[in-house]
């Protein structure tokens, strides 16, 4: 061993930095309470809201600026609520109200959307043909996004391929008994999707995983990897996120119907090429 190696190598090695992602739970969800579904969440009454408004007033009945906080400032809360409504993307920007009404009529008649159907509306006859992007906007769906997860995209992709295309409840059962770490994170995400689907009025039994992917969450911390003979490397602590789109049974029926219509419209398969002969035909063999 080189004598100078003792002086070059550091005596104190840095410890790895652990980054944790804090996640806040809403007070209205059962996960916030210690007893879960046993106890019901507290709801704010009008009397409590009036009491918060009186907390701002001083002894003379005037508004005291020093007593105003984010929790009791109703004007600030209304401002943020109105701004969120404006920033929210609505279907009206991309689809006309007439197309929306015709789409709903086709779904009521057939149970799912069929392209190219003739619909009666206000004494007029319409033939509705929508593009794939318009159908994607009109059909019900649930978008999910996870928090920062300590893992790699390669490990997450292996779990995603395992459950992609399955029903949500079937995927949750499969992930529950999977020993991989990413399976527990994906199971939590799909359970949140079931809760959101029930809030939107969708049937949770008919929801399935339409698309599921992973990506880098950025800002990967790194640390030095000290090796022998004055060499070194870099150790990256990878963080990823999961994104998922759940769709209802309506989309699954439409895709099956479109596949069937494509098979019926296809030409019969010809095993021999139906083309004219490009060589002179002789009544005898040439070999």
pLDDT tens for the 287 residues of the chain, in order: 444 444 444 444 444 444 433 344 444 444 444 444 444 555 555 556 555 556 666 666 677 777 778 777 888 888 988 888 887 777 888 899 999 999 999 999 999 999 999 999 999 999 999 999 999 999 999 999 999 999 999 999 999 999 999 999 999 999 999 999 999 999 999 999 999 999 999 999 999 999 999 999 999 999 999 999 999 999 999 999 999 999 999 999 999 999 999 999 998 888 877 777 777 778 888 77
Looking at residue 44, what is its pLDDT? 54
Looking at residue 55, what is its pLDDT? 65
Q: Is residue 281 part of a domain?
A: no
Looking at residue 19, what is its pLDDT? 42
CA 148/CA 152 separation, integer angstroms: 11
**87-to-47, 70, 75, 143 alpha-carbon distances in Å:** 31, 21, 19, 17
Q: CB of 186 within 8 A of CB of 272?
A: no
Looking at residue 275, what is its pLDDT? 77
Tokens of 198: 């029930």
Q: Is residue 68 part of a domain?
A: no
Looking at residue 56, what is its pLDDT? 65
Q: CB of 143 within 8 A of CB of 110?
A: no
Q: Is residue 274 part of a domain?
A: no
- Cα dihedral sign, 275-276-279-280: positive
CA 147/CA 19 separation, integer angstroms: 13
Here the CATH number for the domain that contains residue 206 is 3.90.470.10
Q: Is residue 215 part of a domain?
A: yes
One DSSP character per residue, 190-226 reads: HHHHHHHHHHTT--GGG-EEEEEEEEE-S---EEEEE
Q: Is residue 207 part of a domain?
A: yes
Residues paired with 246 in a beta bridge: 142, 209
Q: Is residue 286 part of a domain?
A: no
CA angle 125, 130, 132 (to 5 degrees): 165
Q: Is residue 27 part of a domain?
A: no
Q: Is residue 127 part of a domain?
A: no
User: 3-class secondary structure for 63-109?
Assistant: ECHHHCCCCCCHHHHHHHHHHHHHHCCCHHHCCCHHHHHHHHHHHHH
Tokens of 285: 């063999």
Looking at residue 35, what is its pLDDT? 44
How many structural domains compose the chain?
Answer: 1
Looking at residue 4, what is its pLDDT? 44
Domain that holds residue 221: 140-247
Looking at residue 52, what is its pLDDT? 58
Question: What is this structure's pTM?
Answer: 0.67
């Amino acid at each position: 061993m080189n004598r100078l190696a003792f002086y070059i190598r550091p005596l104190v090695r840095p410890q790895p930095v652990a980054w944790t992602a804090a996640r806040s739970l809403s007070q209205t969800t059962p996960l916030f309470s210690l007893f879960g579904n046993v106890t019901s969440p507290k709801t704010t009454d009008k009397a409590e809201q009036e009491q918060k408004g009186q907390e701002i007033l001083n002894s003379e009945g005037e508004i005291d600026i020093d007593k105003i906080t984010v929790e009791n400032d109703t004007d600030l809360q209304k401002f943020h609520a109105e701004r969120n409504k404006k920033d929210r993307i609505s279907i009206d920007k991309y689809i006309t109200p007439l197309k929306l009404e015709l789409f709903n009529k086709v779904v009521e008649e057939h149970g799912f959307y069929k392209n190219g159907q003739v619909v009666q509306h206000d004494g007029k006859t319409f033939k509705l043909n929508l593009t794939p992007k318009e159908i994607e906007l009109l059909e019900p769906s649930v978008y999910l996004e996870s928090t920062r997860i300590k893992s790699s995209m390669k490990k997450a992709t292996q779990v995603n391929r395992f459950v992609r295309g399955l029903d949500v409840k079937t995927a949750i059962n499969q992930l529950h008994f999977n020993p991989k770490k990413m399976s527990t994170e994906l199971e939590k995400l799909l359970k949140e999707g079931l809760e959101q689907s029930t809030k939107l009025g969708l049937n949770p039994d008919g929801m399935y995983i339409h698309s599921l992917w992973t990506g880098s969450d950025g800002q990967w911390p790194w640390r030095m990897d000290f090796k022998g003979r004055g060499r070194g490397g870099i150790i990256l602590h990878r963080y990823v996120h999961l994104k998922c789109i759940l769709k209802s049974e309506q989309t699954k029926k439409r895709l099956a119907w479109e596949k069937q219509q494509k098979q019926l419209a296809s030409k019969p398969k010809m095993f021999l090429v139906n083309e004219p002969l490009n060589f002179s035909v002789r009544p005898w063999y040439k070999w």
